[in-house]
Amino acid sequence: MSRPVPNPGILDIAPYTPGKSPVAEPGRKVFKLSANETPFGPSPKAIEAFKNVAAHLEDYPEGTSRVLREAIGRSFGLDPNRIICGAGSDEILNLLAHTYLSQGDEAISTTHGFLVYPIATMAVGAKNVVAQETNLTCNVDAILNAVTPKTKLVWLANPNNPTGTYVPFDEVKRLRAGLPSHVLLVLDAAYSDYVSRNDYEMGIELVATTENTVVTHTFSKIHGLAALRVGWMFGPEHIIDAVNRIRGPFNVSTPAMYAAVAAIEDTAHQAMSKQFTETWRNWLSEEIGKLGLKVTPGVANFVLIHFPENGKTADEADAYLTKRGLVLRALKNYRLPHSLRMTIGTEEANRLVVEGLRDFMAGK
């Protein structure tokens, strides 16, 4: 019996695996620390804006997300006409792949890059080329050495998920300068709001001064709107024009749009979340390090914990913590089988994880 056959390469794609949902013992409180969600939720102003739209759900959204593009433009000092919005930055990444990659092309990502990159690349018949990292950090020279005549696009998460490491802006500029002019550099700045380093820049300056660079961002992290799926991209006019030609006309819902506007304008909520994250990221790194476990120095809203290859394993720790209602992220699909990623949660959750790891390492 004949049946529809997927395009070549589709069945070679490993499906994206999200952070697992909480499952705990009966009567135990659960903390989901597997998906890099903010423990504070969205701004109350965003919730209010979302509710205010409820009386008009029969109306289609404004098709260009104009009010949101203008709000983003005000926040970052950008031309709204050079901004495109999407159903999460994931949609925009896929739109870029559909616009600039085709059968036989190559796109480069790093060893532990975001899993959506190879999916978006392979979905259009292109080849995902992996550039090796150094100390779990992007190596610019490795990317440049991976370039071939078939290279059309480079994916770079900065900061990176799941490692939490970042590339200084001077290195990003060196990467752009070393790439052929026809290669699109995609800077994924989903976690940029958490960075407080003088040598970091999310990429806006580079986009503003080149014709072959874009920066993407999301409302799912510090803004706490993951359930609404809102993302955006700043790019050269010719790239925005090309991507808009295949973008769905109503890809951002009206409630999501207005909630995002309120969220980006609530700078006090963002500042509070950033300060809390930085304080507890430092505390967790220090306390977990005292247990004899290595923590990769990071700048995002999570910590990457490494377990010895010989001894107590990441799998055992994951199972132990899960039974305590502490749900972290295993990273086998990110080529990190001996590591767990922990989202920075509430003060209670953070302290319980350290307590749980201490008991685990002590064999209790």
Q: What is the pLDDT of residues 252-275, one digit of tens each?
A: 999 999 999 999 999 999 999 999
Q: What is the mean pLDDT of the chain?
A: 94
Asked if pLDDT for residue 29 goes beyond 90, the answer is no
Say yes or no: 222 and 293 in one domain: no
Say yes or no: 18 and 96 in one domain: no
Residue ending a domain, among 242, 265, 288, is 265
Residue ending a domain, among 197, 230, 265, is 265
Q: Does residue 1 sit within a domain?
A: no
State the Cα–Cα distance between residues 138 and 120, nearest whole angstrom.
20
Q: What percent of the chain has pLDDT over 70?
A: 97
CB 121 within 8 A of CB 74: no
Say yes or no: 84 and 51 in one domain: yes
* Residue 326 zone, left/alpha/beta (φ > 0; ψ -120 to 50; rest): beta
Q: Does residue 146 sit within a domain?
A: yes
Number of domains the chain is built from = 2
CB 210 within 8 A of CB 236: yes
Identify the CATH number of the domain in which residue 95 sits. 3.40.640.10
Q: Does residue 2 sit within a domain?
A: no
The predicted-structure confidence for 156-200, as pLDDT tens digits, reads as follows 999 999 999 999 999 999 999 999 999 999 999 999 999 999 999
Residue ending a domain, among 265, 293, 314, is 265
Q: Does residue 3 sit within a domain?
A: no
CB 4 within 8 A of CB 314: no
Say yes or no: 86 and 34 in one domain: no
Domain housing 279: 13-41+268-361
pLDDT score, position 10:
77
Say yes or no: 162 and 181 in one domain: yes
pLDDT score, position 25:
59
